[in-house]
A and B are shown apart, each in its own frame.
Chain A
């Protein structure tokens, strides 16, 4: 059985191509796919950044052809938007080991547009769940996806690939959490009413702050914004009192000179008995005098500071990617070992069938000559079965063990030659119902 992965992602296809293939309900597609003889099992992963089909097939060429045809002719929003043949460069294809590695990298968020983003693992799990519930998953993909989740979990817990925020909003929230134990009892003051403030309001509401006040030159605009987000609106003349009540201050207002200076913060700190203030200045030119950062209990970050932290975090994520790749490699090797052991199953089955056939034939001969009664026959059955099992135990164990390694395939070949397992006229050959290359996964 071969593993095949065909798909497109943000690196190979622009959004106008990817959006044609977004699948809301993959189940009908999957059921159609596994109903065809070329595809045994299938999982369809569809996110805003990728559409990928993971499948198993008995014949690589047939499976590959079927998977490409699936993208070319079937997937997409109706026949009106097929992926043109000339556009097939948007598709990539991975087979066996490469497909395993690719899936593990995707689940571990190494292949994501934003490396380390947490959503992809949930999306892969959802795709797998849908395929399982729809009966499109078999033993091989079950094992493959379970291993992918294990690899992703290891990457998440053993590296810092996902631990550091890299968007400005998340960096600001992360910094706030280093200053304050909880944000739920904290009050925010937003100075300005532009787009930046509007976006910040959204993010701050998500962070769970107790209250938000918006102060602006034109109170009408502040009122409009405040009404939309459940905040309170104020004029700039209320600044001293607002600052004294604010734990988090975010400014983005057009001004030639800093609007908030150190004496203003100092008097606010005195009024609030030196409870700390986290000030985020998104204004350019800056709205808060940089000297404010020299005050005890005020932590001032401007756009460059936040970008600097975000960039440092992104750099750290990139460094962590090397360690994440090493973990993925380990997990790929572990999966290969399992798959290798699976390769030994047909050979082992034939070997056992051969031994059993010989045993049965010899018992028939002996029973006729020795005129065995039922008890005697059962005794001989037990003895011969024990002998066969003991004789086969070591070679079978060795075959399983060696098959986990790539070099171990030679042992499988040697066993076939030594025991004439490929000879169709040999006793027990007819018992080998499983064609060569079958997974035999149900036995593992």
Chain B
């Protein structure tokens, strides 16, 4: 049932993505209006999937990569739904919904084969690590998507191309604010995830730092975000620089979580 709910959520995210893209390209407002509702329905199914997973006798561990990716996608969708309450943010659905679809679809394929959580009692640290890290990734993911949208709009404005769909996109100022707000929230949450991970490692091995690809790359990603947060809030980066760095930072974070996570 949990897997079917995951698949239902993936399907709803896909339909939301198509509606949002059609809403941008076509003048029919009904597509654009339907997209957030479809995204919300997907988030509901997704939330029910997690609730169902939680009640299983042997639930798959949240620390497994597919579960963690699915959790990140769900949290990113929730953040986007919050932003969608603001006018003209509908275009964000066109980026968030496809990303959520891909994440949840592949997660649902892998969930079936996952075993239950490790029997070793590690306390709350593994779960806290995954929850904080996923929430951090979700927030920074939204920052990255907002940055991508900013770069596309900035390019079109600089090139002086008239496109009807451009007026349906959020303004550059609004995208920059989303970028700043999600980075401001995402970096501390990601930091909490890293700290929880270190405490989990200490519980297992007695040491805070054990090395290994996941630890090294994750620390590197955290350091990059630390630099970005410093540049943004210390040196006053904004606009194009901030957008480009948020997009690149998130691409690197994805590589660390999915690429390195899958290899280790």
Which residues of chain A are near B158, meaning CB under 8 Å? 293, 299
> Would B160 and A275 count as touching, CB distance under 8 A?
no
Task: Give the contacts of A257-277 with B (CB-CB under 8 A).
Answer: 273-276
Which residues of chain A are near B177, meaning CB under 8 Å? 181
Residue of B whose beta carbon sits closest to that of A293: B158
* Option from A163, A174, A297, A309 in Cβ contact (under 8 Å) with B27: A163
Residue of B whose beta carbon sits closest to that of A269: B239
A174-B167, A305-B160, A313-B162 known; A181-B27 Cβ under 8 A:
no
Q: Is B164 an interface residue (CB 8 A)?
A: yes
18 A-B pairs (CB sep. < 8 Å) = A157-B27, A157-B29, A174-B167, A177-B167, A178-B166, A178-B167, A178-B172, A180-B171, A180-B172, A180-B173, A276-B173, A296-B239, A297-B238, A297-B239, A297-B240, A299-B157, A305-B160, A309-B162
Q: Is A179 an interface residue (CB 8 A)?
A: yes
Which residues of chain A are near B157, meaning CB under 8 Å? 175, 178-179, 299
A178-B153, A305-B160 known; A296-B167 Cβ under 8 A:
no
Q: Is B28 an interface residue (CB 8 A)?
A: yes
* Option from A160, A178, A273, A274 in Cβ contact (under 8 Å) with B169: A178
Which residues of chain B are near A181, meaning CB under 8 Å? 170-171, 173-174, 177
Task: Give the contacts of B166-215 with A (CB-CB under 8 A).
Answer: 166-167, 169-174, 177
Give Cα A305–Cα B166 distance, bound, in whole angstroms.
Answer: 16
Max chain B Cβ within 10 angstroms of own Cβ: one of A179, A305, A313, A320? A179
B27 to chain A, nearest CB (A): 5
Q: Is B241 an interface residue (CB 8 A)?
A: yes
Q: Is A125 an interface residue (CB 8 A)?
A: no
> Would A308 and B171 count as touching, CB distance under 8 A?
no
Task: Give the contacts of A169-196 with B (CB-CB under 8 A).
Answer: 174-175, 177-181
Interface size class of A (residues with CB under 8 A): 20 to 34
> Would A179 and B162 count as touching, CB distance under 8 A?
no
Q: Is A21 an interface residue (CB 8 A)?
A: no
Q: Is A164 an interface residue (CB 8 A)?
A: yes
A387 to chain B, nearest CB (A): 49
Give Cα A305–Cα B159 distance, bound, in whole angstroms.
Answer: 10
Q: Is B119 an interface residue (CB 8 A)?
A: no
B166 to chain A, nearest CB (A): 6
A340 to chain B, nearest CB (A): 29
Give Cα A147–Cα B102 distance, bound, in whole angstroms.
Answer: 45
> Would B238 and A163 count as touching, CB distance under 8 A?
no
B10 to chain A, nearest CB (A): 31
Give Cα A296–Cα B239 distance, bound, in whole angstroms.
Answer: 8
Q: Is B236 an interface residue (CB 8 A)?
A: yes
Q: Is A322 an interface residue (CB 8 A)?
A: no
A211 to chain B, nearest CB (A): 18
> Would A157 and B28 count as touching, CB distance under 8 A?
yes
Q: Mark A143-180, 1 if CB is under 8 A from B, else 0.
A: 00000000000000111100110000000001101111
Give Cα A116–Cα B166 distance, bound, in whole angstroms.
Answer: 19
Residue of A whose beta carbon sits closest to that of B164: A160
A-side residues, CB < 8 A to B, are 157-160, 163-164, 174-175, 177-181, 273-276, 293, 296-297, 299, 301, 305, 308-309, 312-313, 316, 320
Residue of A whose beta carbon sits closest to that of B244: A296
Which residues of chain A are near B160, meaning CB under 8 Å? 301, 305, 308-309
Give Cα A316–Cα B167 distance, bound, in whole angstroms.
Answer: 14
Give Cα A275–Cα B236 distance, bound, in whole angstroms.
Answer: 10
* Option from B29, B172, B237 in Cβ contact (under 8 Å) with A276: B172
* Option from A158, A177, A293, A312 in Cβ contact (under 8 Å) with B171: A177
> Would B162 and A164 count as touching, CB distance under 8 A?
yes
A157-B29, A178-B153, A181-B171 known; A296-B164 Cβ under 8 A:
no
> Would A273 and B173 count as touching, CB distance under 8 A?
no
Give Cα A316–Cα B239 distance, bound, in whole angstroms.
Answer: 30
> Would B171 and A160 count as touching, CB distance under 8 A?
no
Q: Which 10 A-B pairs have the closest CB atoms?
A: A312-B162, A309-B162, A181-B174, A181-B173, A160-B27, A297-B239, A273-B236, A296-B240, A181-B171, A305-B160
A156 to chain B, nearest CB (A): 10
Which residues of chain B are near A160, meaning CB under 8 Å? 27, 164
Residue of A whose beta carbon sits closest to that of B169: A178
Which residues of chain A are near B167, meaning CB under 8 Å? 163-164, 174, 177-178
A183 to chain B, nearest CB (A): 10
> Would B240 and A158 count as touching, CB distance under 8 A?
no
Give Cα A180–Cα B176 distance, bound, in whole angstroms.
Answer: 10
Which residues of chain A are near B238, meaning CB under 8 Å? 273-275, 297
Given A164-B167, A296-B240, 6 further pairs, Cβ under 8 A = A179-B157, A181-B173, A273-B236, A297-B238, A297-B239, A305-B160
Which residues of chain B are near A175, meaning CB under 8 Å? 157
Give Cα A316–Cα B164 distance, bound, in whole angstroms.
Answer: 8
Residue of B whose beta carbon sits closest to that of A297: B239
Which residues of chain A are near B28, meaning CB under 8 Å? 157-158
Give Cα A313–Cα B165 distance, bound, in whole angstroms.
Answer: 12
Which residues of chain B are near A320, meaning CB under 8 Å? 27
Residue of A whose beta carbon sits closest to that of B171: A181
B183 to chain A, nearest CB (A): 16
Give Cα A312–Cα B240 distance, bound, in whole angstroms.
Answer: 26
Give Cα A157–Cα B31 distance, bound, in whole angstroms.
Answer: 12
Give Cα A177–Cα B238 distance, bound, in whole angstroms.
Answer: 18
Give Cα A301–Cα B241 distance, bound, in whole angstroms.
Answer: 22
Give Cα A308–Cα B160 distance, bound, in whole angstroms.
Answer: 8
Give Cα A243–Cα B236 distance, bound, in whole angstroms.
Answer: 19
> Would A164 and B164 count as touching, CB distance under 8 A?
yes
Q: Mark B232-258, 1 if CB is under 8 A from A, else 0.
A: 000011111100000000000000000
Residue of A whose beta carbon sits closest to that of B172: A179
> Would B172 and A158 count as touching, CB distance under 8 A?
no
Give Cα A309–Cα B156 distance, bound, in whole angstroms.
Answer: 12
Max chain B Cβ within 10 angstroms of own Cβ: one of A177, A297, A320? A297
